[in-house]
Amino acid sequence: MASTSQIVDALLARLRGALPSLSVEHCAAPADYRLEHPQGALLLSYRGSQFALPRDVAGVCQQRTLQLELTLLLRRAGAQVNDTEALDAARSACLGFPAPDCRPVCLSSETFLGLSDGIARYVISLAADTWQVAEAAIGHEPVLTAVTKEEQS
């Protein structure tokens, strides 16, 4: 199974290709981010996971929904990047993206946070479903003891 870091890194690579005129970075705390790029930035944050009930009796496999968030910081002064074009590109890059060991990424919500110091701020929430699987204890694997051949009609 892909780790959370591998999933985030794959999405970052996809976003960098879709929005080359912005700085695209992983950022745990977008509110504290200091924008230095002349056009703007797209910040990807991992916000946690939701887990479904275990699917098997042993409780070793659960569906996991990763919650991710894109924060777009777009400069207004001398902007070469239009807000709606940047939002469209970010949404298009994410929706349906097959992150490693995940179902295609889904969009959850989009919000305009406001304009402050000449910087427009937007947030897009994303979700990606994957599985959390327990590591097998070495030496405790089931042993094949008999093989039979049965015909089914």
Q: Is the pLDDT of residue 61 over 90?
A: no
Spatial CA neighbour of 23 closest among 66, 69, 71? 71
Q: Which residues touch 66 (CB under 8 Å, ≥6 apart)?
A: 4, 7, 46, 49, 102, 127, 128, 129, 130
Q: What is the pTM of this model?
A: 0.84
Give the range with max mean pLDDT: 50-59, 116-125, 127-136: 116-125
Which percentage of the chain shows pLDDT scores above 70?
89
